[in-house]
């Protein structure tokens, strides 16, 4: 497995020239986070990730985490020490509130850190990601006593957090959960039930784990309306803030997974465990969505990050592997990077990764605007855009993570397919990202079911209009940009057609709306990617760096000509309706329906 090289220059260019970070740094509360400070911070963080975290990636995959006979979980060699160094360095606290010990930096900076962390070691990085989701929930809905008791040590990383949503019988249908919460005389609750797929539900890297558990109180309404959210700590906390006795939560087993072997995915059993209500009873879904939305952008960044790590390895291999003789070459053999199809795969990775980075950072930047801009109208509009971009980032980002890591493996041929090179680990690790924190089908349903209809469709149409402003910029940039502009015009028009169809059809035929949701979201992913690459090319042309300008123009042109046309081809699928999806009954779909002819 090749060594990880943090793409600091690419991240810095994205922040400065593509997503408008200099404006973010002027918002109230972010004045200390100017671009120069941020780039220096990211350089230091990149060194930490490359030198301390990345070398553990392969060993963690081989060794995995293990459940000990005493019910505790042992993480792979080196993880506990590396996590302590991570806490001591304070990398997890950078984007978190200063009042609880954080650095108070923008979410965009935190996402850049997350990218490098995920690239270095995805399985390791999941623990802080889940902790951040739990922190966000407590920041929004915890009372002062709860915040003061738990947040300082969670922000520092001394304590970690989990999200306990899923149950064996419920899966993604959160409303079907059966975990019970019965109120005790002292105001706490007795939590009883079983939760599955709990990432870092137990481990040896921190002294305390703060579980956020969804449960149902007696007499609560059916479905999602009757769900409440509770803090259930691994160890009870004494009045003096010291850790007390072990709570009644047990790790029953660890899942044996396709990838992320180092990350302990736990089955947890609660038996009259002591829990504390967050907010009000029956308001758990609101809290869950705070956790999930924070995690969904982070998961989208996982697709980007693992694709980046896989790309670096495939590029190195293509440069070194001698095989065959390229057209026009001299000598006995050529490096495979000289062959057109290998170049196609490398360019697809390079352009797509750049686009994904711009997309993730743009979403994070709008999160910052939605929380810190002094103008309420600006904050409200930014929040709408976050609502549009987040399902696209999560779904398109992780789908592309699957596709790009597969391309990276393909470049390495048989050497990529064998485990010793580490290329296969990237494919295995990233595969979960399209599944957890709301499957990508759920993201597509969220886009068309919740976000499409905001202000009667005006919100999403306004965003398309905002993207189309780049057409004027491209026209003014010169003839070299004409091909990009022409293809973007075509594809933006097709996206508008699909959007108007969705708005019209969804009112009377929601099944057809959902039937086309996944190809529709894919259209959005392709168009936003091409749009941001075009913005990057225009911005780079205005710098005094000719090499940068040439590179960004090539990436934007390649994407527009060879990848973006896929968007228009999805219009038919997006608007086909649901008839054929349900034309065959379950029996007809099975092999039993086929007749053998003699």
Beta carbons of 180 and 226 less than 8 angstroms apart: no
- CA end-to-end span of the chain: 53
Nearest partner of 362 among 113, 125, 528, 564, judged by Cα: 528
Beta carbons of 529 and 537 less than 8 angstroms apart: no
437 is an active site residue: yes
Q: What tokens were used for 223?
A: 């479905």
DSSP H/E element including 274: strand 265-277
Q: What is the 3-state secondary structure (H, E, C) of 523-561?
A: HHHHHHHHHHHHHHHHHHHCCCCHHHHHHHHHHHHHHHH
Beta carbons of 99 and 148 less than 8 angstroms apart: no
Phi, psi of 213 (to 5 degrees): -120, 130
Name the 3-class secondary structure at 581. helix
Which residue out of 437, 471, 487, 494 is catalytically annotated?
437
Q: What is the 3-state secondary structure (H, E, C) of 342-401?
A: HHHHHHHHHHHHHHHHHHHHHHHHHHHHHHHCCCHHHHHHHHHHHHHHHHHHHHHHHHHH
Nearest partner of 177 among 191, 163, 193, judged by Cα: 193
Nearest partner of 326 among 309, 340, 346, 306, judged by Cα: 340
Q: What tokens were used for 108?
A: 């965009």
Runs of H (alpha helix) within 64-190: 79-89, 107-120, 122-141, 144-156
**β-pairing verdict for 189-199 and 265-277:** antiparallel
The catalytic site residues sit at 437
């Amino acid at each position: 497995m090749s060594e990880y090289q943090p793409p600091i220059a690419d991240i810095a260019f994205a922040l400065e020239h593509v997503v408008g970070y200099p404006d973010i740094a002027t918002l109230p509360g972010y004045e200390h986070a100017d671009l120069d400070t941020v780039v220096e911070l990211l350089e230091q963080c990149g060194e930490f990730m490359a030198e301390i975290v990345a070398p553990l990636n392969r060993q963690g995959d081989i060794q995995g985490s293990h459940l000990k006979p005493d019910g505790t979980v042992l993480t792979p060699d080196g993880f506990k020490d590396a996590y302590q160094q991570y806490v001591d360095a304070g990398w997890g606290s950078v984007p978190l509130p200063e009042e609880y010990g954080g650095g108070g930096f923008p979410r965009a900076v935190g996402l850049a850190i997350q990218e490098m962390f995920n690239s270095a070691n995805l399985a390791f990085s999941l623990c802080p990601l889940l902790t951040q989701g739990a922190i966000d929930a407590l920041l929004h809905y915890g009372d002062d006593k709860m915040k003061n008791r738990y947040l300082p040590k969670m922000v520092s990383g001394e304590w970690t957090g989990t999200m306990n949503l899923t149950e064996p019988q419920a899966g993604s249908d959160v409303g079907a959960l059966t975990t019970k919460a019965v109120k005790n005389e002292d105001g706490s609750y007795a939590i009883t039930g079983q939760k599955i797929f709990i990432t870092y539900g137990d481990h040896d890297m921190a002294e305390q784990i703060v579980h956020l558990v969804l449960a149902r109180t007696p007499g609560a309404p059916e479905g999602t309306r009757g769900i409440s959210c509770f803090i259930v700590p691994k160890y009870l906390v004494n009045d003096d803030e010291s850790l007390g006795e072990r709570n009644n939560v047990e790790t029953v087993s660890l899942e044996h997974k396709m990838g992320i072997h180092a990350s302990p995915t736990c089955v947890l059993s609660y038996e009259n465990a002591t829990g504390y209500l967050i907010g009000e009873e029956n308001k758990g879904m609101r809290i869950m969505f705070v956790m999930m939305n924070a995690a969904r952008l982070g998961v989208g960044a996982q697709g980007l990050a693992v694709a980046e790590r896989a790309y670096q390895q495939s590029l190195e291999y293509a440069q070194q592997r001698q095989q065959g003789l390229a057209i026009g070459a001299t000598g006995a053999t050529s490096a495979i990077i000289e062959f057109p199809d290998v170049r196609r795969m490398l360019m697809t990775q390079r352009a797509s990764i750049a686009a994904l980075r711009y997309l993730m950072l743009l979403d994070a930047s709008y999160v910052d605007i939605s929380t810190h801009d002094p103008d309420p109208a600006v904050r409200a509009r930014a929040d709408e855009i976050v609502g549009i971009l987040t399902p696209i980032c999560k779904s398109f980002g992780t789908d592309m993570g699957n596709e790009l890591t597969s391309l990276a493996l393909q470049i390495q041929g048989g050497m990529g397919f064998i485990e010793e090179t580490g290329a296969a680990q990237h494919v295995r690790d990233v595969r979960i990202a399209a599944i957890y924190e709301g499957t990508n089908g759920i993201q597509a349903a969220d886009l068309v079911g919740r976000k499409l209809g905001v202000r009667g469709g005006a919100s999403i149409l306004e965003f398309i209009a905002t993207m189309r402003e780049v057409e004027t910029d491209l026209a003014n940039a010169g003839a070299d940009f004409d091909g990009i502009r022409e293809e973007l015009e075509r594809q933006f028009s097709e996206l508008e057609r699909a959007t108007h169809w969705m708005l019209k059809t969804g009112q009377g035929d929601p099944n057809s709306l959902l039937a086309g949701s996944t190809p529709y979201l894919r259209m959005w992913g392709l168009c936003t990617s091409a749009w941001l690459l075009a913005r990057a090319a225009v911005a780079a042309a205005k710098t005094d760096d000719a090499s940068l300008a040439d590179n960004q123009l090539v990436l934007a042109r390649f994407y527009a000509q060879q990848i973006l046309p896929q968007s228009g081809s999805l219009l038919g699928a997006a608007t086909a309706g649901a008839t054929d999806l349900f034309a065959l009954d379950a029996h007809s779909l099975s092999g039993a329906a086929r007749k053998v002819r003699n």
